[in-house]
Amino acid sequence: MRIGMGYDVHRLVEGRDLIIGGVRIPHETGLLGHSDADVLVHAIMDALIGALGKGDIGKHFPDTDERFRGADSMGLLAHVSEMLEADGYRVTNIDCVIIAQKPKMAPFIPRMKARVAEVLGMDESDINIKATTEEGLGFTGALLGISSQAVALIEKVR
């Protein structure tokens, strides 16, 4: 068994879609980034890559590479899943949190879980996604951005 942790943060701006966990969420602002800026999926990818001991998402999907401009993070997650399989690992558990003052995430979490589980070939019951605010404190509380943290457990299967 190996464990990895991930963290990601993106600034909220006008004129961008808000995509979290592969789900488009209606909101007046979206997250700024080189790809679709999906903070939840980025944190999950970082945790999985960390568990493999292969650096971080910036190493594998640099924001200086035009191939990743506007990339769908679910496609990048599929690539991370292929990395796991190639190294003989499978994901056994993911626990993550989205830190956002607004919008409320709870209505979208079931679809997020389903999307992540599908891409990683996991049972939804092995993925936990929760959300919290920072009660008006910090950059997330001031509606300047959204962050996410994830922990992932992987096991060798061959």
Residue 113: CB partners within 8 Å, gap ≥ 6?
21, 124, 127, 129
Q: Is 63 annotated as a binding residue?
A: yes
| Contact predicate 11/102, CB 8 Å | no
The pLDDT of residue 105: 96
The pLDDT of residue 66: 83
Structural domain boundaries enclosing 99: 2-156
Please give the average per-residue pLDDT across 53-65, as a whole number: 90
Q: Is 79 annotated as a binding residue?
A: no
Q: Is 92 annotated as a binding residue?
A: no
Q: Is 35 annotated as a binding residue?
A: yes
**Band (64; pLDDT cuts 50, 70, 90):** confident
Q: Is 3 annotated as a binding residue?
A: no
- pLDDT above 70 covers what percent of the chain? 100
Q: Is 26 annotated as a binding residue?
A: no
Q: Is 117 annotated as a binding residue?
A: no
How many domains, in total, are found in the chain?
Answer: 1
| Residue 74, CA distances (Å) to 21, 84, 103, 114, 116 in order | 8, 15, 21, 12, 8
CATH code, 105: 3.30.1330.50
The DSSP annotation for 44-63 comes to: HHHHHHHHHTS--HHHHS-T
114-129 tens-digit pLDDT: 999 999 999 999 999 9
Q: Is 9 annotated as a binding residue?
A: yes
pTM recorded for the entire structure: 0.95
What whole-number distance in Å separates Cα of residue 147 and Cα of residue 145?
A: 7
Q: Is 118 annotated as a binding residue?
A: no
Q: Is 112 annotated as a binding residue?
A: no
Please give the average per-residue pLDDT across 96-125, as a whole number: 97
Q: Is 47 annotated as a binding residue?
A: no
- Return the amino acid letter for 103: P
